[in-house]
Amino acid sequence: MSKAASRLPARPSLEQLRKQAKERLETLRADDPSATLADAQYALARAYGFESWPKLVHHVEAVLSSGRLEQFEHLAKNILAGYGGDAEALQHLIAHYGVSYNPDQLRVRVQSSVNDARGVPGEPTLADVQLMVARQYGFESWAALAEGLAQPPAQSVDSRLGLSSSPPFYRIDWKNKTIEPHPPLSDADWETVFAVMKEHGLTGITSAAFTDGALAKLSRLDFVTRINMDGARSFTDDGLLHLARMTQLEELDLSGYHSPLTDRGL
């Protein structure tokens, strides 16, 4: 997507896009009476950084079905509830981040993170937590994060920080040629992450969000030599066994107090 491309709203609408295409058709016909709706749709798609109208429509349908914004809304609410000691919220956070803390330990971490982010005394609000989450993902505000979730996958990353600006979110350690994707991650997101690794020659990956499906896809990458799964809890022995085909592996970190790994996986 070019730098000059328009940005989709946080909650894109196919109905609104069709309306915009009709409005653009009127503009095109002012200069060219023979212009068609297909011409207007193509022009609109290009304005948003897509190669065609069908690809724009497919992307918006994927955004609407993915529920990405709702996932981040739930994350912020769970952090706020976890700050107050809600046991269910803390369990959701443990699963989300793939950490090995028990609920009490995680609550301390959550409180510390939120308090540090706020920098002022008093009970946090949902808006406080939303701002913290947005900044953790490289955005200046919750509104900017919400808009960023609707954009197509980033074609480039911040060369200095190695951060992606749209889903899937990840950080690249250029020095160590390692990528660290951040949840939530769908199957399609993992495919994007692996494509980024191939494009940039990244040989290492760190994530506590690995699933069996992600490990199956990862096992097909013959250039990956380092995998760090510290804290991962969403995989099984079956998923780990896929890695047996990766004879080029030099490092594999499976540590974590609550690892689901059994002797069969080893």
Whether 129 and 184 map to the same domain: the answer is no
Task: Examine residue 144 and state whether it is found in any structural domain, yes or no.
Answer: yes
Per cent of the chain over pLDDT 70 is: 91
Whether 50 and 81 map to the same domain: the answer is no
- Contact between 183 and 171 under an 8 Å Cβ cutoff? The reply is no
Whether 72 and 121 map to the same domain: the answer is yes
Question: Which residues are CB-neighbours of 103 under 8 A, at least 6 positions away?
Answer: 87, 90, 91, 94
pLDDT tens-place string over residues 134-193? 999 889 999 999 999 998 876 556 555 678 888 889 999 999 999 999 988 888 899 999
Is the predicted pLDDT of residue 260 greater than 70, yes or no?
Answer: no
Q: Using 50, 70 and 90 to split pLDDT, how confident is the model at 99? A: confident
Q: Using 50, 70 and 90 to split pLDDT, how confident is the model at 3? A: very low
Whether 61 and 72 map to the same domain: the answer is no
Domain termination residue (choose one: 42, 66, 90): 66
Is the predicted pLDDT of residue 8 greater than 90, yes or no?
Answer: yes
State the amino acid at position 9 in one-letter form. P
Would residue 201 be called left, alpha or beta, if left means φ above 0 and alpha means ψ between -120 and 50 degrees?
left
Range of the domain at 142: 68-148
Query: Kind and range of the H or E element at 204?
Result: strand 204-206
The pTM is what? Answer: 0.78
Is the predicted pLDDT of residue 197 greater than 70, yes or no?
Answer: yes
Could you give the number of structural domains in the chain? Answer: 3
Whether 80 and 23 map to the same domain: the answer is no
| Alpha carbon distance 188, 171 (integer Å) | 18
Nearest to 197 by CA among 171, 160, 216, 215: 171
- Contact between 60 and 14 under an 8 Å Cβ cutoff? The reply is yes
Q: Using 50, 70 and 90 to split pLDDT, how confident is the model at 263? A: low
In angstroms, the Cα distances linking 6 to 1, 13, 44, 151, 210 are: 9, 15, 9, 10, 33
- Contact between 92 and 103 under an 8 Å Cβ cutoff? The reply is no
Per cent of the chain over pLDDT 90 is: 71
Task: Examine residue 94 and state whether it is found in any structural domain, yes or no.
Answer: yes
Task: Examine residue 31 and state whether it is found in any structural domain, yes or no.
Answer: yes
pLDDT tens-place string over residues 11-50? 999 999 999 999 999 999 999 999 999 999 999 999 999 9
Task: Examine residue 88 and state whether it is found in any structural domain, yes or no.
Answer: yes
State the amino acid at position 250 in one-letter form. E
Query: Hey, how many other C-beta atoms are within 10 angstroms of the C-beta on 46?
Result: 16
Whether 181 and 238 map to the same domain: the answer is yes
Whether 117 and 54 map to the same domain: the answer is no
Task: Examine residue 157 and state whether it is found in any structural domain, yes or no.
Answer: no
Q: What is the pLDDT of residue 1?
A: 42
| Alpha carbon distance 169, 158 (integer Å) | 12
Is the predicted pLDDT of residue 256 greater than 90, yes or no?
Answer: no
Q: What is the pLDDT of residue 2?
A: 43
Whether 80 and 137 map to the same domain: the answer is yes
| Alpha carbon distance 172, 103 (integer Å) | 30
